[in-house]
A and B are shown apart, each in its own frame.
Chain A
Amino acid sequence: MLFNSIQFVVFLFIVLIVYRLLSQKGRLYFLLAASYFFYACWSFSYLGLIFFTSSSCFLAGLLIEKAPDRRRKKLFLTLSIVINFLILFIFKYFNFVVQAAQDISTYFNHPAHFDFLDILLPVGISFYTFHSISYVIDVYRGEVQTEKNIFRFLLFVSFFPQLVAGPIARTRDLLPQLRHLDNYKYENFRKGFVLIFWGLFKKMVVADRLAIAVNHVYNHVDQASSVSLIIATIFFTYQIYCDFSGYSDIALGVSKLFGIDLMLNFRSPYFSKTVTEFWRRWHISLSTWFRDYLYIPLGGNKVSQGRWIFNTVFVFVISGLWHGANYTFLIWGAIHGIMLVVERYVYGRSIRDIQPGVDFKNIIRWGITYIIVMIGWVFFRANNISDSFAVFGKIFEFRNVMPDVRSLFVPGGAESLIGLKFYDFVLAIFFILMLVTVSFAVRKSGIINAVLNLSAVPRWAFYIGVTFLVLWFGKFGVNEFVYFQF
């Protein structure tokens, strides 16, 4: 059940009405049932897996709390982490490791054959595993109160707006809110719907339109030209942003309708002036997760320089692998890790002192950051490692550039070059510009405040305008969100 589907509209409508009619206790059970139903629509057979992950972490939390000494607490923590990462490894990384072993053995001229596991990747497994594990670590650290009600904990892990693609909520943020399910306010509805409208626009109008061109070019890299690859790569930077941040906006908006605030996941990342800043603005719930649960325990920046470089690159490589079991994600993570290290040497401590604002230096910084991020996205999007290098090879060939650019304006030319009809191509550029303009205008206040501070007429123009943009220009096919695969 996708957020941008009619089924979800019906589902949400029913859940909201029933939720309103129930008592606080009833709401807890009902939201849990609704969340499990939501997940069952994806995969009924994997419901058991999410239940096992949740209940094992719930039990680990109780055992850690009751353990008489530090050593046993640590044992339960380790057990819980090992079990959950083992599940994640089997479903997500086992076949990758087998493939890597085969590749290595072939490289050393001793080809070996290992059997692959014939299993499907459960939707959202990386999200809910990280979500659950963070609770156990928080309990171990004594940072949160142990949850005694298993139903509440099951809901904490499976709360449907954030279940399949985040944001990865923190225990101290989400769990206390689930203890008081009475924050049912009109103001929440106003804020929630602004986010839902904006998220739908990003996903259905921008991301799904760009996806047609990106898929057309990146799925046939051998037939692609320099111009088509440049266009597709630029388009992908916006597709991935609109797809994922669109999902996060809708998740935050839907959650708000129930009076529950989820963590902000994006803050106009493409306006970043450094890669370091980019990671403070992109997928914030994941980057802060890695910071708090991996980078800092590894020593963070309070270690020797060599160790700090290792820590930084290691965390980003792991973060890359979190996205998918593929060499492309590994390289993507490594690029970002290395760039963070490079920036530290280029800017030194002054990286924190870069002032916001539109001046010449910042525009140059922004341009460099955008290009680095774009290079990373090539690895992220390419179907495999050889395709990624083929993309760069072809882009820098600069073959047939002018004829290809001219062909965009000939009937049928855009469609054969990038798979988009000419008017869809023009619309794609128009909507990217529109998105950038709006994002720039609301970069300080955020879309909610910007819209809600408007007077009635322009505010309603926003609601109705976005509705018609989605109705006229939205893509209504079954287009999954990119981050569901993680």
Chain B
Amino acid sequence: MEKKILSRAVIYLVTVVVICELLSFVIPAESVTVQKNMINAVYARRDKIESLAFGRSHGGSLDYNIWDKTGKNLSMGGQDIASIKYSLDYLSPELPHLQEVLICISYSSLYFDNEALSNGNLNDARKGLYAAIPSYKLISANDYNNMVFGKLFAFIQADYGFRKLVKAVKEKEEQKKSKQVGDILVDTAKMLQSAKVDAFDHSKDKKLALQYNPEIREQYLNYLKEIALELKARNVKCIFYTPPFYKAYTDNYPPKDIEETERVMTDLCKQTGTTYYDFSAYRTMADNMALYSNADHLNLAGKEQFTKTFKQVLRDGKGPADFPGLKIFK
């Protein structure tokens, strides 16, 4: 009887794995490979890397083509602090010449967690990270589904094939309706001009409310503290920053949340001996709509200008006197 059960179990597993491999061959697992490629790119240049950057989508504002140190920007839409800690735990000991780590703090960084974002689905960002990093530690307590699917079935990409199909159909529709796409761009511009920006406000938006997890803040602050202290022990500088946002975005964001972010970051900097550079209200850039692709994301020109400015602040010791609106917390 055992032989029978075992043989059927083997047939079942082999069939599932073969189908998965075939699917993986036909539809490469994009979200997993993106993360894998990023981590592998760092690993491949591990003897040269001097700087790393992390953060949510806002972290993409730092352009390493302009930065004065060899580095890699590992920021990703929806990347939470737990994932940054997980990546750094693995990467920092592997990089002998690492001199600095830049962590982008969005207003939402301290209460948005990737597990809540998944809303019942496997989380691609988490799954990709598990697939990319050879560690079997969980990023957070209830994350085992993402880990198992990242580690063992990274090639499956669960519903990836279906979503890719939907995306392709959508893109086709959008191409047909290019006029409507034009309208949307015009609307964005209008929205920016009129300062009516729907900021990341969990109190107004049901969907955001689902992703809002205020209980996680203490844990995240502890992670940031651990990151800073561990890096300090390795003589690596930990730098926190917030990039410029278009003024309407900041104006519409609940002031309480902004003040709270400033307060906890000030405390964190005092405790860890680090510095937090807040460019969110840096006037020259916050007033210039031409530097943004939307209210809170810089476009290419914006990224270039911000990176140059940040470099001047960090390397040449310039400050709020030279860049009005910039706030520095130590």
Contacts and interface: CB of A to CB of B under 8 A. Distances in A.
Given A472-B161, A476-B145, A464 B120 contact: no
A453 B114 CA distance: 45
Interface in B87-130: 115, 118-122
Interface stretch (B11-19, B216-224, B260-268, B302-310): B11-19
Interface in A54-112: none
Nearest to B122: A476
A189 B120 contact: no
A475 to B, nearest CB: 4
Interface residues of A, number: 33
A185 B118 CA distance: 40
A200 B249 CA distance: 44
Given A184-B1, A220-B206, A471 B120 contact: no
Interface in A428-486: 460, 463-464, 467-468, 471-479
Given A186-B5, A468-B19, A212 B149 contact: no
A419 B1 CA distance: 48
A189 B19 CA distance: 24
A208 interface: yes
A478 B207 CA distance: 18
Task: Provide the main secondary structure of the chain A interface.
Answer: helix
A423 interface: yes
Contact of A464 (B5, B19, B158): B19
B159 interface: yes
Contact of B119 (A460, A464, A477): A477
B67 interface: no
Given A460-B15, A473-B162, A186 B1 contact: yes
Interface string A155-195: 00000000000000000000000000000111001000000
A423 B166 contact: yes
B19 to A, nearest CB: 7
B203 interface: no
Contacts of A384: none
B153 to A, nearest CB: 8
A476 B19 contact: no
B119 A476 contact: no
A18 interface: no
B117 to A, nearest CB: 10
A42 to B, nearest CB: 14
B162 A467 contact: no
B16 A472 contact: no
B15 A472 contact: no
A405 interface: no
A147 to B, nearest CB: 30
A185 B11 CA distance: 19
A216 B206 contact: yes
A7 interface: yes
Contact of A478 (B16, B19, B142): B142
Given A6-B144, A471-B158, A477 B120 contact: yes
Contacts of B4: 186
B81 interface: no
Interface string B27-54: 0000000000000000000000000000
A415 interface: yes
B82 interface: no
A147 B179 CA distance: 78
B145 A6 contact: yes
B123 to A, nearest CB: 9
Contacts of A20: 2
Contact of A467 (B16, B119, B159): B16
A186 B153 CA distance: 29
B15 A471 contact: no
B231 interface: no
A93 B109 CA distance: 42
A476 B1 contact: no
Given A185-B1, A415-B207, A419-B206, A475 B121 contact: yes
Nearest to A208: B120
B121 A476 contact: yes
**Most chain A CB inside 10 Å of its own CB: which residue of B16, B115, B118, B120:** B120
A189 B145 contact: no
A191 to B, nearest CB: 13
Interface residues of B, number: 31
A463 B19 contact: no
B186 interface: no
Contacts of A5: 144-145
A460 B119 CA distance: 31
Nearest to A475: B120
Contacts of B5: 186, 189
A477 B161 contact: no
Nearest to A471: B158
B156 A471 contact: yes
Interface string A1-41: 00001110000000000001000000000000000000000
B148 interface: yes
Contacts of A423: 162-163, 166
B157 to A, nearest CB: 9
Given A463-B12, A477-B121, A472 B159 contact: yes
Nearest to A476: B145
Contacts of B1: 184-186
B187 to A, nearest CB: 14
Interface in B256-313: none
Nearest to A470: B158
Contacts of B2: 20
Contacts of B119: 212, 477
B166 A477 contact: no
Contact of A473 (B12, B142, B148, B159): B159
A184 B118 CA distance: 40
B27 to A, nearest CB: 12
Nearest to A257: B5
Nearest to B206: A220
**Most chain B CB inside 10 Å of its own CB: which residue of A415, A474, A475, A477:** A477
Contact of A476 (B12, B16, B120, B207): B120
Interface in A350-392: none
Contact of A212 (B11, B120, B162, B166): B120
A468 B161 CA distance: 12
Contacts of B158: 471-472, 474, 476
Contacts of A223: 206
A209 B121 CA distance: 10
A189 B8 CA distance: 11
12 contacts: A6-B144, A6-B148, A208-B120, A209-B120, A419-B207, A423-B166, A460-B11, A471-B153, A471-B156, A473-B159, A474-B158, A477-B121
Interface of A: 5-7, 20, 184-186, 189, 208-209, 211-212, 216, 220, 223, 411, 415, 419, 423, 460, 463-464, 467-468, 471-479
Given A212-B119, A464-B16, 16 more contacts: A6-B144, A6-B148, A7-B144, A186-B5, A211-B120, A411-B170, A419-B207, A464-B19, A472-B159, A473-B162, A476-B118, A476-B121, A476-B149, A477-B115, A477-B145, A479-B120
